[in-house]
Chain A
Amino acid sequence: MDEILQRIVFGLTSGSIYAIAAVGLTLVYGILRLTNFAHGDLMTFGAYMAYTVTVMWNGHFILGLLAATVLTALLGLGTELAIWRPLRLRGSGVLQLMLVSIGLSLVIRYGLQFFYGADLRRLDVDVTSTNVIGGIRISDQQILIFVLAAIVLGLVGLLLAKTLIGASMRALSDNIVLAESTGIDTRRVISQTWLLAGGLAGFGGVLAAIFINVNPEVGWNLLLTVFAAVIVGGIGNPYGALIGGYVIGLAQELSTLVIPAQYKLLVGFVILVLVLLIRPQGIMGRRQAVT
């Protein structure tokens, strides 16, 4: 029993990271029909920004986290203005956009490797202290990740549910032409979506850096798992992505009770493949969204 609870703690920690990244990825897809393979590398960018501020410049952790979030949000918006908007205006197709995002992903990842090198680095966060609560070990970093993720996901949920910006984003995700015809300034909402998606990616990247480490591939290595969360939740659905993130995190960790831990990473990929084959609209999606 303790072992199961222990696994759940781990699953919720990694699930928090997947959920934060997945919400941004799914919003961008829902609104722009862009399968953004560079999303993981936005996370990596955030991780390196936090590294720069906290380790290289000895800044406070909160400052690094904020810098990473803001700078990655700006990078997301920058890619929209420099790449995605011009491509949309030229009427680029789904495959074209996907290939450009793959190219962009290489440029960001290896750009970071060029400037920072390929060595593993760590954020200056205490990784050793562990609390034992009722036989279950929870490290300080896990509590930190879990609390930060809960705050941010709560705020994002409120933003989407209660504010005009959030409602506009959901409207665009549902039907962009209809949204435009009701007088929503779609360009502005798209820019806001990129800021949100980029910011979340940067924030999630810092959490990933705390949990794993900082290296040029940290986000790329998470991308397919994040895609799994997006697909499980129904592509384009931010609430689904949030739940999908935790579902994948828990499934990965709980799987180690029955199969060797080295296959943990595969669990997310297998779920991704199975969901796409059996129920491509995800657990919460609607059928018409995928045809």
Chain B
Amino acid sequence: MSFLSDLGIWAPILTVTGIYALLALGLQVQVGQAGLRNFGHVASMLLGAYTMAILNSEGVPLVLSMLAALAVAMLAAALVAIPTLRLRGDFLAIVTIALAEIVRILARTDVEAIVGRPLTNGPSGLSDRTFRSEVIKPILDWGRDNGWDFDRSLPLLVIVWTAVLVVGLGLWALSRTPWGRVVRAVREDEDAVRALGKNAFLCKVQAMAIGAACAALAGCFFVANQVQFSPASFEPIVTFSAFTIIILGGLGSFRGAVAGAFVLQVLLERTRYIETGFTGEQEAALRYIVVGLVLMALVAFRPQGIFGKREELVLGD
């Protein structure tokens, strides 16, 4: 077990990969399965992160605050979905990105003027150690008592990837139920689904809510991983990265979403250790340039990604 005591740089990288995989799994349900162009996915992650942190600071038990985080994000996504989902694809994209920015800017301005008490602590954001102290530390202590000196990043890594596995398998199983087939049918031809007497609209709202729950869970783990977070952690680039991931892996494919997260993260993180002679700021810029180039090249040349099916290509229309 000695290798578990020092995972080096890989544990944090893989933890972040798992968080992105969860986020991408949620987007896969919405975009890949249901064909809903949600460009505001990061807002669900933000709601999850803030809800958990705020409730934890109020002394709510961790499990409850995480459940509440998922519930808030699902409710918000369903509420947004009801008026917006009838919009044309490109308008839906603009509306969702605008709504996500509204949420982020509200968090940045603090919502004191609206709710009557400080809540989000403005641009500096919040800090929440509850997950560390109540979950990770006991595991590390337990390990030490039994003579295993785990790497400090190991518990969260295992928890996140267990969640990825459970959520991924769950979504895959769900996609093979009659409900999953109706959702994909809605993507292909909504009128035909309605003609068969299925409630296409309800299916779309449900797909939005399920995707939002995945993103909220990603938000909770994001807080667990980095403790301090702020509105700047939830800029639109996060949604765009998730889009790059699901297109990389293949639209509609859940294992593709996980594989895509892995490929993108390795691409971004490994390049960090190549000696380039650039300044840190330039290297940070290069990483985003890589995301942009990968996104452009994939969409242009291999829109079905690694695991996607050409006949299920939802990009065209």
Contact = CB atoms under 8 A, between A and B. Distances in A.
Question: On chain B, which size bracket covers the interface?
Answer: 35 or more
B289 A107 contact: yes
Contact of A265 (B91, B105, B286, B288): B105
Contacts of B87: 276-277, 280
Contact of A95 (B84, B288, B317): B317
B167 interface: no
Interface stretch (B19-27, B149-157, B291-299): B291-299
Interface in B262-317: 281-282, 284-286, 288-289, 291-296, 299-300, 303, 314-317
Given A107-B289, A111-B289, A114-B286, A99 B89 contact: no
Contacts of B284: 113
Interface string B172-214: 0000000000000000000000000000000000000000000
B95 A272 contact: yes
Contact of B299 (A99, A106, A114, A227): A99
A228 B95 CA distance: 10
Interface in A259-279: 260, 262-263, 265-266, 269-270, 272-273, 276-277
A277 B37 contact: no
A272 to B, nearest CB: 5
Given A93-B315, A266-B105, A273-B98, A103 B295 contact: yes
A74 interface: no
A224 interface: yes
Interface string A73-109: 0000000000100110011111110111011111101
A109 B95 contact: no
A250 to B, nearest CB: 19
B98 A99 contact: no
Contacts of B64: none
A103 B87 CA distance: 24
B237 interface: yes
B94 A231 contact: yes
A100 B94 CA distance: 15
A269 B95 CA distance: 9
22 contacts: A92-B299, A92-B315, A93-B316, A95-B93, A96-B316, A98-B37, A100-B296, A100-B300, A102-B240, A104-B296, A106-B291, A106-B292, A107-B292, A111-B285, A111-B289, A113-B281, A113-B284, A114-B285, A224-B94, A266-B102, A272-B95, A290-B91
B162 interface: no
Interface of A: 35, 83, 86-87, 90-96, 98-100, 102-107, 109-111, 113-114, 117-118, 216, 224, 227-228, 231, 260, 262-263, 265-266, 269-270, 272-273, 276-277, 280, 290-291
A94 B293 CA distance: 19
A275 to B, nearest CB: 10
Contacts of B52: none
Contacts of A96: 299-300, 303, 315-316
Contact of B102 (A102, A105, A227, A270): A270
- Provide the main secondary structure of the chain A interface: helix
Interface of B: 37, 83-84, 87-91, 93-95, 97-99, 101-102, 105-106, 109, 113, 237, 240, 243-244, 247, 281-282, 284-286, 288-289, 291-296, 299-300, 303, 314-317
Nearest to B35: A95
Contacts of A92: 299-300, 315-316
A94 B317 CA distance: 6
A231 B90 CA distance: 12
Contacts of B288: 106, 109-110
Contacts of B316: 91-93, 95-96
A114 B243 contact: no
A262 B84 CA distance: 26
A105 B281 CA distance: 18
Nearest to A261: B109
A106 B102 contact: no
Contacts of B83: 277
